[in-house]
């Protein structure tokens, strides 16, 4: 099967690397003009001239990037199967739609308002109580298009800095930790769940994901499974869906956002789970049986951002795996990740700290469960 992928960044690259053993070929459609996948066939199409050529080559279409025109995806759906569907893109690329779906399915989220001016932003900040987080409704990723307001008086400056016509304003959650769920739904409706991961973000960018969690209670994992299953079934979804959540002090979970694709917080599965999220996504879109999502051992994904580190020294650590994206160094850019696998979480922490020391800009590791190890 030739898999068509919308977007040609590192997620597409890793999809292809997982698909070659299955005998898949890959054609990427890049609308940005700067593809980095470095594998498969890449059609660079910033002016939307080559859609027919792309469609003629592919059997099924998926994507690694959800900030695409919905009309483009709907057009593709007229010719080839697209998984996940354009409906998933429509919801997941728009924070208002996403929140509305969470509300409708009774999935708890932080209190929020939708605003369309600096005055409305100020009023929402007063109503919700500061701090609040203001986020552009569309196009946000890696913390871009966001501002935290410590007081309602900061509304004018925040509105200016974000520069979008519509924002979602959320109460700031004093979370114990951020977690995420990665689940996969097959064409036949079968659903499998990866163990929940704990995610550490700095300035809105993911730095570390660790899974499985040593202190996770069964109830919480089941609650998260139920939330994501409800979303998958509602959207008649096929493929990998990621759901980011906040764990609050009283032990409940609040949904933050979701992504209709393979996700950075699921990269640990490449070396830490029986089947990676990439392979399972491809199995799903092709109608193949889904693979086991079981974790093999405690694993931590370390993002390499901005500048590369001492790769040889990291690889010299036992059971450490480097995944580079063939991208040039640039501030804030995701260049690679390192998956560190260990027999115990204590040993894992030691090795992740060793990696951190070998990466120029890596922040200190702060897992919520460190002092229980
Ligand atoms: N309501 C909130 N309360 C506290 N922190 C938040 C809130 N919303 C976002 N954040 C922080 O900002 C990060 C990025 O926000 P998110 O909504 O996930 O946007 P992005 O699309 O950029 O990933 C989150 O992972 C979290 O660390
Ligand atoms: Mg996020």
C-alpha–C-alpha distance, residues 102 and 237, integer Å: 15
Q: How many Å apart are CA 225 and CA 183, to the nearest integer?
A: 8
The answer as to whether 323 is a domain residue is yes
Q: Is the residue at 357 inside a domain?
A: yes
Look up the CATH number of the domain holding residue 190: 3.30.470.20
Tokens of 314: 């990291």
Would 314 be classed as within a structural domain?
yes
Are residues 143 and 69 located together in one domain of the fold?
A: no
Same domain, 150 and 199: no
Q: Residue 148: which residues within 8 A CB-CB, separation 6 or more?
A: 131, 132, 133, 134, 172
Q: Rounded to 5 degrees, what angle do the CA atoms 57, 182, 350 make?
A: 115
pTM summary value: 0.97
Residue 363 lies in a domain: yes
Closest-approaching ligand to the CA atom of 179: 1
Q: Which residue has the tokens 């040609």?
A: 8
Together in a domain, 154 and 190: no
CATH of the domain at 69: 3.40.50.20
Is residue 144, in this structure, part of any structural domain at all?
A: yes
Residue 236 lies in a domain: yes
Closest to 18 measured CA to CA, from 317, 309, 285, 225: 285
249 and 356 housed in the same domain: yes
CA nearest ligand 1 atom 20, residue? 141
219/323 same-domain check: yes
Q: Is 189 within a domain?
A: yes
User: Domain check: are 64 and 147 in the same one?
Assistant: no
Binding-site residues, ligand 1, Cβ < 6 A: 110, 133, 135, 140-143, 170, 172-173, 178, 201, 204, 244, 256-257
Spatial distance between the Cα atoms of 301 and 355, rounded to a whole number of angstroms: 11
On whether both 42 and 132 belong to a single domain, the answer is: no
118/155 Cα distance (integer angstroms) = 6
Note the pLDDT of residue 79.
Answer: 98
Same domain? 275 vs 339: yes
CA distance 180 to 125: 27
Can you give the pLDDT of all 373 residues of the chain as single tens digits? 999 999 999 999 999 999 999 999 999 999 999 999 999 999 999 999 999 999 999 999 999 999 999 999 999 999 999 999 999 999 999 999 999 999 999 999 999 999 999 999 999 999 999 999 999 999 988 889 999 999 999 999 999 999 999 999 999 999 999 999 999 999 999 999 999 999 999 999 999 999 999 999 899 999 999 999 999 999 999 999 999 999 999 989 999 999 999 999 999 999 999 999 999 999 999 999 999 999 999 999 999 999 999 999 999 999 999 999 999 999 999 999 999 999 999 999 999 999 999 999 999 999 999 999 9
Domain span at residue 187 reads 175-372
Same domain, 257 and 334: yes
- Residue 123 belongs to domain with CATH number: 3.30.1490.20
Distance of CA 300 to the CA centre of its chain: 16
pLDDT, position 142: 87
- 89 located within any domain: no
Same domain, 183 and 295: yes
Quick one: tokens of 164?
Answer: 């979008």
DSSP string across 272-316: HBSS-HHHHHHHHHTTPPPPP--B-S-EEEEEEESS---HHHHHT
Number of domains in the chain: 3
Domain match, 43 and 165 both: no
Mutual orientation of helices 155-162 and 118-128 as an angle, nearest 10°? 120
How close is the Cα of 142 to the center of ligand 2, in Å? 7
Nearest-atom number in ligand 1 for the CA of 259 is 21
| CA distance readout (Å), 92 to 67, 139, 184, 231, 347 | 9, 10, 16, 11, 37
Instruction: Give the CA distances from residue 247 to residues 146, 150, 197, 290, in Å, rounded to whole numbers and listed in that order.
Output: 21, 22, 12, 28
Identify whether residues 127 and 242 lie together within a single domain: no
Q: Which ligand is nearest to the CA of 135?
A: 1
């Amino acid at each position: 099967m030739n898999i068509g992928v919308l977007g040609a960044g590192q997620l597409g690259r890793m999809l292809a690397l997982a698909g070659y053993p299955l005998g898949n070929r890959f054609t990427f459609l890049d609308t940005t003009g700067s593809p980095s996948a470095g594998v498969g066939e890449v059609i660079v199409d910033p002016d939307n001239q080559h859609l027919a050529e792309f469609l003629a080559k592919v059997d099924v279409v998926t994507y690694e990037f959800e900030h695409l025109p919905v009309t483009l995806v709907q057009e593709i759906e007229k010719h080839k199967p697209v998984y996940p569907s354009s409906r998933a893109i429509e919801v997941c690329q728009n924070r208002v739609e996403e929140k509305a779906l969470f509300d409708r399915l009774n999935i708890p989220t932080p209190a929020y308002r939708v605003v369309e001016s600096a005055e409305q932003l100020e009023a929402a900040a007063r109503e919700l109580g500061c701090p609040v987080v203001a986020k552009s409704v569309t196009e946000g990723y890696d913390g871009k298009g966001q501002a935290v307001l410590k007081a309602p008086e900061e509304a004018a400056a925040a509105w200016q800095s974000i520069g979008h016509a519509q924002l979602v304003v959320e109460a700031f959650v004093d979370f114990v930790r951020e977690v995420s769920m990665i689940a996969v739904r097959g064409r036949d409706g079968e659903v499998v769940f990866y163990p929940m991961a704990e995610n550490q973000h700095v300035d809105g960018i993911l730095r570390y994901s660790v899974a499985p969690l040593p202190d996770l209670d069964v109830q919480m994992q089941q609650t998260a499974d139920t939330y994501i299953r409800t979303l998958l079934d509602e959207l008649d979804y096929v493929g990998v869906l990621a759901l980011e959540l906040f764990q609050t002090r009283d032990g409940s979970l609040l949904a933050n956002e979701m992504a209709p694709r393979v996700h950075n917080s699921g990269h640990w599965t490449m070396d830490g789970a029986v089947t990676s999220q990439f392979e399972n996504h491809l199995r799903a879109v092709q109608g193949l049986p889904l693979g086991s999502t079981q974790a093999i051992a405690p694993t931590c994904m370390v993002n390499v951002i901005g500048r590369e580190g001492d790769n040889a020294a990291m690889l010299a650590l036992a059971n450490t795996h480097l995944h580079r994206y063939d991208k040039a160094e640039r501030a804030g850019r995701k260049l690679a990740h390192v998956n560190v696998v260990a027999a115990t979480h204590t040993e894992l922490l030691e090795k992740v700290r060793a990696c951190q020391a070998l990466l120029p800009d890596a922040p200190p590791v702060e897992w919520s469960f460190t002092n229980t190890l």
